[in-house]
């Protein structure tokens, strides 16, 4: 008996088809690259309607390009959100989401286990804008979290699978804590991708991505995305979020009145992205869309390789510790089994017993694996964190963040696992000399 045709499409199908529109003139099957700055008005009244938001037609590509719109809708569909938008980078996605929620003198709570580039932005440019960030241990008690909320707290921010140490975050628990306090949970889901983990299903309200990573998969473009789950009741917390619940000017309805569940994304698109202008080129989005089409196939191989590499590294005397929650002995293994049943991602961090000099010898000996900053590539990449991404921190700050002198981050690619292990052995032998 045939399957019910009314059932929702599977992930593997949606990663190819979701959000796409057949070009009206050419009927092109592949989403075209709409390489244009703007769009011709039909007449005087049409131009007025487009700028007033009364028309379905576009006004300008800064915040509304057809190629980019397809990618935003597709990523939102895969995450389980109501809408999404792509922007110029993952950092731009984070900044856009925070600026849509908070302004000067507002307060954001964040988990300590965050990518260092994000923390650098929080203590740098966003702090200069007057937004205050306070860090809480991921596993702090509910009472400890509750004591940190203020009347001007606007969000809780975290990552599903923090880069580089893979401390799996209990998203359902954090969502409950945030919602009890009346604020949304913002989650960076770059590392697992929606194929391995969809945090909206666990209560997340806003999901951000660096689309440069596994969503694209080929290491040739920079981009980011923001997805609105459409689940947070902004009207119930109107005092905290007047930008969404109050009329922007006389006679104009609020974003909640106009867009309902999609109010946050509509505000982000028509105010934050329009005014700041973090536009991603449609050519980059075209390449992103081609990457998304093979996401599930690639992630299965990424995870398979990462698990095999992590298990092999665990038995090497040159390696003091392997950070990978797919390993049974990892402290986050049980959370990984709960949240990541398809696999624990493809970041494997190793602490070399010989410290910084061992890391130097290890990286310099590699022949197949590329020493560079980036993750989520089809190619396997390696980087020493203490001398690069975390170099601006003091030694004490690095150790507090778990960045030991011998810590190497590996982004495991799609090569033959036998060839990867051979290259890693070459590096480890050099590290031990």
Q: Give the architecture (CATH level 2) of 11-292.
A: 3-Layer(aba) Sandwich (3.40)
Q: What's the pLDDT band for 164 if we cut at 50, 70, 90?
A: very high
CB-based contact 84:225 (threshold 8 Å):
yes
Alpha-carbon span 404 to 400, nearest angstrom: 9
The residue among 86, 43, 76 whose CA lies nearest residue 273 is: 86
User: Tens of pLDDT along 318-334?
Assistant: 999 999 999 999 999 99
Q: How far apart are CA 227 and CA 369, in angstroms?
A: 33
pLDDT band at residue 3 using 50, 70 and 90 as cut-offs: low
Give residue-wise pLDDT tens across range 48-59: 898 888 888 888
| CA–CA dist 432, 198 (Å, integer) | 41
Supply the pLDDT for residue 1. Answer: 41
Query: Which of these ranges, 33-47, 65-79, 199-213, 341-355, has the smallest mean pLDDT?
Result: 33-47
What does the mean pLDDT of the chain come to?
Answer: 95
Instruction: Read off the pLDDT of residues 364-387 as tens digits, 9 standing for 90 and up.
Output: 999 999 999 999 999 999 999 999
For domain 296-432, which architecture applies? Alpha-Beta Complex (3.90)
Predicted pLDDT of residue 172: 98
Query: Do residues 214 and 236 touch, judged by C-beta distance below 8 A?
Result: no
Torsion angles phi and psi, residue 153, rounded to 5: -70, 130
Query: Where in the chain are the domains?
Result: 11-292, 296-432
């Amino acid at each position: 008996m045939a399957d019910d045709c009314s059932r929702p499409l599977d992930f593997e199908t949606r990663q190819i088809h979701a959000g796409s529109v057949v070009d009206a003139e050419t009927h092109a099957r592949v989403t075209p690259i709409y390489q244009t700055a703007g769009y011709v008005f039909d007449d005087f009244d049409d131009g007025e309607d487009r700028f007033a938001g009364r028309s379905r037609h576009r006004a300008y590509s800064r915040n509304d390009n057809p190629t980019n719109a397809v990618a935003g809708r597709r990523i939102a569909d895969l995450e389980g959100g109501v809408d999404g938008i792509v922007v110029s980078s993952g950092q731009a996605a984070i900044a856009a989401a925070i600026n849509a929620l908070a302004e000067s003198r507002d307060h954001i709570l964040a988990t300590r286990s965050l990518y260092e580039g994000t923390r650098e932005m929080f203590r740098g440019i966003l702090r200069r804008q007057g937004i205050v960030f306070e860090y809480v241990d991921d596993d702090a008690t509910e009472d400890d979290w509750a004591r940190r909320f203020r009347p001007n707290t606007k969000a809780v921010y975290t990552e599903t699978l923090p880069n580089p140490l893979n401390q799996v975050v209990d998203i359902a628990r954090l969502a409950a804590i945030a919602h009890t306090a009346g604020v949304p949970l913002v989650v960076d889901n770059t590392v697992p991708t929606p194929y391995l983990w969809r945090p909206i299903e666990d209560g997340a309200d806003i999901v951000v991505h660096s689309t440069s990573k596994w969503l694209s998969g080929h290491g040739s473009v920079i981009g980011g995305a923001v997805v609105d789950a459409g689940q947070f009741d902004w009207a119930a917390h109107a005092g905290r979020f007047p930008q969404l619940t109050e009329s922007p000017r006389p006679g104009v309805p609020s974003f909640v009145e106009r867009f309902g569940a999609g109010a946050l994304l509509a505000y982000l698109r028509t105010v934050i992205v329009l005014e700041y202008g973090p536009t991603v080129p449609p050519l980059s989005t075209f390449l992103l869309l081609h990457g998304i089409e093979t996401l599930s196939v690639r992630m299965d191989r990424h995870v398979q390789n990462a698990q095999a590499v992590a298990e092999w590294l665990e038995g090497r005397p040159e390696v003091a510790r392997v950070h990978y929650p797919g390993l049974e002995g990892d402290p986050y293994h049980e959370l990984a089994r709960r949240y990541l049943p398809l696999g624990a991602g493809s970041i494997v961090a190793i602490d070399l017993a010989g410290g910084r000099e061992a890391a130097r010898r290890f990286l310099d000996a590699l022949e197949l694996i590329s020493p560079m900053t980036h993750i989520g590539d089809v190619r396997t990449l390696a980087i020493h964190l203490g001398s690069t991404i975390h170099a601006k921190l003091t030694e004490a700050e690095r150790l507090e963040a778990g960045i030991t002198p011998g810590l190497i981050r590996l982004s495991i690619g799609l090569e033959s696992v036998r060839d990867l292990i051979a290259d890693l052995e070459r590096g480890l032998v050099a590290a031990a000399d």
